[in-house]
Amino acid sequence: MQFADFDAARGSVTVRNRQDFLDLTGYDFDWQVLENGKIIAHGQISPPEVAARGSGSIDLPLTNFRRDPDAEYILTLRARAKQGTTPLVAAGTVMAWEQFALQAAASPKVDRSGKVSVTEEANLLRFAAAGSSLVIDRKSGLIQSYSQNGRPLIQGGAPNFWRAETDNGLGTGVVKQLAIWKELSEQRRVTSFALHTEPNGGKSVVVEFALGRGDTLGVAKFQSTYRMEGDGSVSVTANFTPVKKDLPPPYRIGLAFDLPVELDTAKWYGRGPHETYVDRKVGAPIGIRRGALADQPHDYSRPQETGNKVDVRWMELSGTGRGLRVEGTQPLMMNALPFAYSKLYRRPPGTWKWTDITPGPQGTLLVDVSQWGVGGDNQWSDLGRPLPQYRSKLEPTRFELRLSPAKTSQPSRQSDEAADIDWGFFEK
C-alpha cells in the first residue's frame, strides 16, 4: 500500500493523500513521458497543499513534445521522499508512483517486398528470405529451426496450456483441477498440414492439431499459421478452440519454444525487472529492461513456476553474435529461461531443489496470451485461488506474434536503458 494515489485525465492529475495525519509537503513529485519505453520528456511537479486524507489537482505540460502517431506513450508519475520524511528512508526514494497510457502503439509494420522462396520436401517445408530460413516439420507441425545466416535462433512452438506446479496451486487444489491440460500440452496429433497461396501472392502454412490422446483426443483444437515475410521475419498466428465444453479453464494459453543456449541475455519492453503475473504486477513499472537469462527465474527452494513477465510488447534474446526478437500485435506474457522448463516440474519431496537445476542443454521461451495468476490469500482452500478476473477462460482464443532476427550491437546506456530509472525501495 502506497501513501498516495494518482488519477490522470486530459493533462490534469488528481493526487489523493492516503495518510491519516501528514500532508504531502514531505515529498517531491515528478513526471516522465515514455515513447516506446524511452524517456523523451520529464519535469518536476509543484504539488498542491493536500491535507491528510485529502486530494488536490496538478497541471502537467504534456503538450511540450511532438508525438509519433505510430508510437506508444506512457506517463509516469512519482513521489520521492525528502530528507527526514520517513525514518531510515533515504532522500530521493520513490514512495508512490503510477503509470497511465497516453497513446497506444500502432500495429508493427512488416516489410513484404523481398522475395520468399518455398521448398517442399517429404517431411519438411522450407521458407527462405533475406538470409533467414524457416523449416517446418510436417509430422510434428512445429518449427524444426528458424535461423539467420545459418545460426539457429529458435525452434518448437508447441501449443502450451500447462505450467509448473506452484506451492499455492498444490495447496488450493488448482493443480489437480487443471491436470488434464498437462496431457493436452504434451499429446497432440497433426490433423492437417496445408500450404496456402494468399491473394497477394505470399505463402503460408497452416497446421491444425487435435489435442490429447485416447479418450481425450480432440477435446480441444489448435491451429498454428506460419508466414515468412520478405525481410526474413516470421508471422505466427495461433488459434485455440475448446471442443468439449465442460473442460476446466487452461492454466495458460500460449506457445512453448526451445532456445539455443548461446542466447543468454534478455531485453524486453514491458513490466519488470522482476517476475510478474496478472495478479502480481502493480509493483513493476513498464519500461525497457535487460538482464541475463540466468537472473530471470527466482530461486524458490522447491522448483516451481517462475520468471514470467507480463504486458510485454517485445523481447530480444541475444548472445554470441546472434539475436532474436519476439513481438506481439498486443502485449503478451513472456518467460525466457536458460534451461528446459520441465526442470521446474514437481518431483517427489526431497529429491529436487533449486540448486539441482543447471543451465542447458537448451533454453526455454514461453509466450502466452493468457495465464492464471498465482493467488495466495491462503494455501489450503478455494479462497487461496486467484480471483476470477485473474484466471484464463475456456473460450476460443487468438493471438499473433512475429519472430525476427535482432541486431546484436550494444546500444549506449543512455539510449538503451533510459527507462531503467532508479526506482529505489517502495511497496505498492
Q: DSSP states of 17-40 as a string?
A: E--SS--STTEEEEEEEEETTEEE
Task: Map out the domains of the chain with their CATH numbers.
Answer: 4-103 (2.60.40.10), 117-416 (2.70.98.10)
pLDDT in tens, 90-127: 999 999 999 999 899 988 777 778 899 999 998 999 99
pTM of the model: 0.92
Flag whether pLDDT at 410 surpasses 90: no
| Cα–Cα dist 207/209, whole Å | 7
Residue with cell 520468399: 116
Closest listed residue to residue 237, CA positions, set 358, 8, 68, 399: 399
Residue with cell 509519433: 68
Which range is least confidently modeled, 40-44, 248-252, 329-333?
40-44
Flag whether pLDDT at 423 surpasses 60: no
- Strand ranges in 176-284 using DSSP code E only, listed in sequence order: 188-197, 203-211, 220-228, 234-242, 252-259, 265-271
Mean pLDDT, residues 394-419 taken together: 73
- Res 70: pLDDT: 92
Closest listed residue to residue 341, CA positions, set 297, 277, 281: 297
Closest listed residue to residue 174, CA positions, set 324, 25, 390: 390
For residues 410 and 78, the answer to whether their CB atoms sit within 8 Å is: no
| Cα–Cα dist 197/272, whole Å | 41
